[in-house]
Structure 1
Amino acid sequence: MRVRRRPCRRERRSRAAVATATAALFVLLGALAGCDSADDADGGASPSARRPSPKPTFIWDRSPASIAAVGDSITRGFDACTVLADCPEVSWATGTDATVRSVAWRLLGEAGAVGRTWNHAKSGARIAELPEQMTRAVADKPELVTVMVGANDACRDNVSHMTSVADFRTYFETSVKKLRSELPKSQLYVSSVPDLKRLWSEGRVNALGKQIWKLGICQSMLGSPDAMDAAAVARRESVQERVVAYNKVLRDVCGRDARCRYDGGAVFEYRFSGDQLSHWDWFHPSKNGQQRLAEIAYRNITAKEPPA
């Protein structure tokens, strides 16, 4: 009969130590796992989780199937066909004139420019009217909305009456939010405000134009067009600075929306000449000027990357 040997005291102590160490290891691992879980819940588990979120990917469809336009007299084609009258058929955005070849014409073709466009712009409109125009545009459910507004906010009887930059921002943000809340996938193309000082310098060489300006067109910039005294120069510079500030608002607000594209200041920087100005008021775009605006917008809308 085989006698079973009892472990000695030293062996028992060794086994107990191993068991204790193993149990401690499991407790430690469990604690670490618990910490990892808590870190994951807090968003701080790993270095990758602590890295800044990447910038949002901008989404832009270069071939929208329907277009609505909002804005002021430029988008209505004012004074481009007849004196002191709208001419929406030559609008840079939604017009049907074959010589202008509007954005709608270029994107949708002749039939599309007639049947899948809406022009809600209004001559004389300022930024305060943009939210209401946007509400009407949203009802049409367009895939693209074009905006050109701001000239009338700087063109006032007196520089003290110009729309403040803060109000300009508020109304524009409200309009963008309206579009985004109602039509989250519709796109917004934003044109910069034209260089009003450039228009003054071009139009003031025409005697007829200066007589028409006396009727009340943009007096903050065009009033006393030949005056070059310190007060007149300062007045025009105030208007110029306000237009630059408006364009910065348009750029900043649009830049926060993944489906908004600002023209990068292209319209502001365009060097309008006499050929691009209406020969009735030497201020609004002529048909030739509307064509130039359409070219700028179409180029930016269909570009792979937004303007710098």
Structure 2
Amino acid sequence: MRKRGHRSRGVLAVAAAAVLGVAGCDAVGGDAAAPPESAKPSPKPTPLWDRSPHSVAAVGDSITRGFDACDVLSDCPQASWATGSSPEVDSLAVRLLGRAKAAERSWNHAVTGARMADLPGQIAQAVRRKPQLVTVMIGANDACRATPSAMTPVSEFRADFQDALRSLRKALPEAQVFVASVPDLKRLWSQGRNNSLSKQVWQLGICPSMLGDADALDSKATLRRDTVRQRVEDYNKVLREVCSADERCRHDGGAVYDYRFGVAQLSRWDYFHPSVDGQARLAEIAYRAVTAEKPLT
């Protein structure tokens, strides 16, 4: 009896230890399924439009070169709305990158007198720098010809712009593009036509299709200017449509065309190209478009 009791107590002790052991394992998880880990948030997709690009390349014509902004009949790239260093202008590059970085990471490939047919070549130069943002302002010289009949046909304007963007996309698939509208050339004529100095400069050949024979107000002259203005509007439609087909392209929504340039915003040497103040206004328009949460319409 004594041994049986001892054996019984030993069996009970082993059984109890086993039960406690199982209980202990369950307490720390054991074979039970571990509680699920909290789901990690999915990383946010990279936005198609970066409102703070780290480098800027500019292409275009005399406006982007700052022609007649600082001196008569000469380029002034330091006053360029896109990449200039002038504190008075506070260019797009300076606003985006800061003054020191803008000096190292912005490039101006625009050429005075350039037309849309020249844009693919400028793009080829710009992509060598691998910019994150390319600014485009071109088209005024396509309308500013000797006569309205010499203006670039809209179909050619479209084809050359599409070709330029295709070349950019092939070289830099993720580069962003900002496209400015062509200014309202007729408004520029209306601002300077009462100034004798401006008309003397215009006679040197500045935009003859619009500015030639500036004092003429007969029906023929009016039709000529209206024809040029309509062509500019057609060009702007092309710029908007082609840009909208590219998910990494932003148009200014017609802001440059709609801007009411006054005498203070026009060069005092030709009353046609933007002055330093006019360049600053262009920089403001571009900065608003590039940093806006949504594209301008």
Question: Aligned equivalents of 1:113 and 1:164: distance in 2?
Answer: 37
Counterpart of 1:169, as a letter, is R
Q: How does 1:49-128 map to 2 (within 5 A)?
A: 59-128=48-117
Instruction: Say if 2:254 is the partner of 1:297.
Output: no
SS at match of 1:78: coil
Question: Aligned equivalents of 2:82 and 2:194: distance in 1?
Answer: 29
How far apart are residue 58 of structure 1 and its match?
7.6
Indicate the residue corresponding to 2:25 in structure 1: none
Indicate the residue corresponding to 2:224 in structure 1: 235
Question: Aligned equivalents of 1:198 and 1:58: distance in 2?
Answer: 38
How far apart are residue 126 of structure 1 and its match?
0.4
Conserved 8 A contact 1:58-1:258: no
Indicate the residue corresponding to 1:225 in structure 2: 214
Question: Aligned equivalents of 1:81 and 1:112: distance in 2?
Answer: 24
How far apart are residue 206 of structure 1 and its match?
1.0
Question: Aligned equivalents of 2:93 and 2:205: distance in 1?
Answer: 32
1:258 pairs with 242, 247, 252, which one? 247
Indicate the residue corresponding to 1:16 in structure 2: none
Counterpart of 1:294, as a letter, is A
Conserved 8 A contact 1:93-1:294: yes
Indicate the residue corresponding to 1:139 in structure 2: 128
Identity of aligned residues (%): 62
Question: Aligned equivalents of 1:114 and 1:58: distance in 2?
Answer: 27
Conserved 8 A contact 1:89-1:97: yes
Instruction: Say if 2:171 is the partner of 1:182.
Output: yes
SS at match of 2:59: strand
How far apart are residue 226 of structure 1 and its match?
1.1
Question: Aligned equivalents of 1:226 and 1:108: distance in 2?
Answer: 45
1:177-208 CA-partner distances (Å, limit 9, x unpaired): 01111100000000000000000000112110
Question: Aligned equivalents of 1:97 and 1:88: distance in 2?
Answer: 9
2:269 pairs with 280, 285, 300, which one? 280
Question: Aligned equivalents of 2:214 and 2:139: distance in 1?
Answer: 21
Question: Aligned equivalents of 1:196 and 1:275: distance in 2?
Answer: 16
Number of aligned pairs? 252
Indicate the residue corresponding to 1:31 in structure 2: none
Question: Aligned equivalents of 2:237 and 2:193: distance in 1?
Answer: 27
RMSD: 0.9
The structure-2 alpha-carbon separation of the partners of 1:58 and 1:229, relative to structure 1 and needing over 3 Å to count, comes to farther
Indicate the residue corresponding to 1:8 in structure 2: none
How far apart are residue 59 of structure 1 and its match?
1.7
Q: When the two structures are superposed, what TM-score results if normalisation uses the length of structure 2?
A: 0.84
Question: Aligned equivalents of 2:273 and 2:252: distance in 1?
Answer: 19
Indicate the residue corresponding to 1:246 in structure 2: 235
Runs of 4+ in structure 1 deviating by more than 4 angstroms, as ranges, are none
Conserved 8 A contact 1:131-1:171: yes
Question: Aligned equivalents of 1:299 and 1:72: distance in 2?
Answer: 21
Indicate the residue corresponding to 1:206 in structure 2: 195
SS at match of 1:179: helix
